Structure 1
């Protein structure tokens, strides 16, 4: 369901395009039924051109926004919505969509600035991104960033989340402009800070603006710890890009054995701690333990960047399942 929500704006865009094309066809039929000398023929022709341009420009713009955050859907959008729903749900589709939109706006603010500063890395690793593929002009990057930031602040004001957005803004400024992300340990902590903000805001919206419960607060701490301790798992697949940008990530400054062991040990500690804290049923315990073991074995045995890109899927599944665990505490509380 969450994947559907995450892609809902693009489904709506496709429907809008269908509506535009339908109306255009109707206008074409009307156009051909008019007498050849009718004074309305030029006007209808103008309307048809306007509809075609408007629909095309809208879809192009929406798809460009999607490309800014495309790579973050499985690792940011989905886990953030999952942990928010698990801790603060159940909710209604409208609140879930508001939470998605709030997340997307804040993620867009980060990605616009981050991608504007990382053109060479994206040219090597993610050539589909808007700036490097020339879908969006780098000349207007700062303007787009300011508009996105202002929109995010306004939307947060609507949801009474100004403090969260302000904390998030300080974090992404430290990450991007101050370049603290080039320091290996701080990169993970700053990313964990961002995840905590995502979870906090999403929970507050999904919970219909009620104060966060103790379960929700612990869930926010959970997402911060998970990424702060294991976030560098994603850096193994981007070693060439990080080296090009001069970043000092853990996979680059330590030997492969040490760097990979740090992920495995952190995942082991987190898996044990999270299972103890949230007490899921045995089947879930077995599933998360299996995902941890698969990730650990593949990360330890296969060291090529290409293999890391493929094996990262196992980490993503473990990461997403770990974010689902708070739902069991909420379920037990509701059935007491």
Structure 2
């Protein structure tokens, strides 16, 4: 009986991890890096609370998205809980409703500001999935930006000693939103086949050539602009620019699904590097 209960608990944990697996490198780690760069002196308890909040909301977004994208995932990611048969669509939808109610409730216990951030994220998730903005290239990017900056705002609030967002934090969040809006299409290049089969018109499907060259321009431009804004020094600026150039060259020259997936992972490294620029500037590294 005891081992049966343990097996059931582990099965639930493993299923939750599978729901969120692809976004640890794209949302979970980058968001924590962003918040830690702005509030580097927070204690261990605050950081653990921040990790839990980000993961819980990440689970909400993924369950909501995957509950409506089983057929697409069967092509792109057949190991996910729905296409692999670990959970049914109905179970996923019930879990989504539970998370949509519990995430804001937990957040409001901490503070009104965090509760408001959570509600914005829930609304953004609803608009993205239920209003089908995920199938529109511009609408998808807007939702991605709103989702990302609310994750960043929530995580930073949880680490902020004063419990409010500083001027630096607000600037960093605004810049991060603009950066993501112009570069997030990198996540869609590896999934062109599955997105097309699902009837989703992403930016790479709508403008296959232009989207790649725009991505290169955005990566290089933001590398220079963000380095200048945070005044990180010549060495740091050149390192960030070089990394952005590598991602951009791969985006244009290497176009297989496997290569695009590797490029997207490297983009995650570049994105984390941009999120750490406030810490870099504060540390006074050349």
Same fold (TM over 0.5): yes
Map of 2:258 onto structure 1: 306
SS for the counterpart of 2:16 is helix
Map of 1:271 onto structure 2: 223
The partner residue of 2:275 within 323, 329, 332 is 323
Q: Residues 10-38 of structure 1, C-alpha deviation per residue, up to 9 Å, x if partnerless? A: xxxxxxxxxxxxxxxxxxxxxxxxxxxxx
Alignment of 1:1-336 (within 5 A): 49=1, 51-160=2-111, 161-208=114-161, 210-256=163-209, 258-331=210-283
Map of 1:28 onto structure 2: none
Q: Distance in 2 between matches of 1:55 and 1:170?
A: 35
Q: Distance in 2 between matches of 1:241 and 1:104?
A: 26
Q: Residues 248-306 of structure 1, C-alpha deviation per residue, up to 9 Å, x if partnerless? A: 111111132x1200101111221111011111143322221111111111111122222
Q: Distance in 2 between matches of 1:138 and 1:122?
A: 13
Q: Residues 207-239 of structure 1, C-alpha deviation per residue, up to 9 Å, x if partnerless? A: 145211111111111221121111101111110
User: Shift of residue 128 of structure 1?
Assistant: 1.3
Q: Distance in 2 between matches of 1:255 and 1:196?
A: 27
Q: Distance in 2 between matches of 1:122 and 1:255?
A: 22
SS for the counterpart of 1:185 is helix
Q: TM-score, normalised by structure 2?
A: 0.94
Q: Distance in 1 between matches of 2:263 and 2:152?
A: 26
Q: Which has the larger radius of gyration?
A: 1
Residue pair 2:104, 2:116 contacting (<8 A) in 1 also: no
Residue pair 1:199, 1:223 contacting (<8 A) in 2 also: no
Q: Distance in 1 between matches of 2:221 and 2:138?
A: 18
Unaligned runs of 5+ in 1: 1-48
Unaligned runs of 5+ in 2: none
Q: Distance in 2 between matches of 1:329 and 1:308?
A: 31
Q: TM-score, normalised by structure 1?
A: 0.81
User: Shift of residue 313 of structure 1?
Assistant: 2.3
Aligned-CA RMSD value = 1.4
User: Shift of residue 311 of structure 1?
Assistant: 2.3
User: Shift of residue 180 of structure 1?
Assistant: 1.1
Aligned residues: 282
Map of 1:21 onto structure 2: none
SS for the counterpart of 1:205 is helix
Residue pair 2:219, 2:245 contacting (<8 A) in 1 also: no
Q: Residues 160-182 of structure 1, C-alpha deviation per residue, up to 9 Å, x if partnerless? A: 11111111122111100001121
Residue pair 2:223, 2:237 contacting (<8 A) in 1 also: no
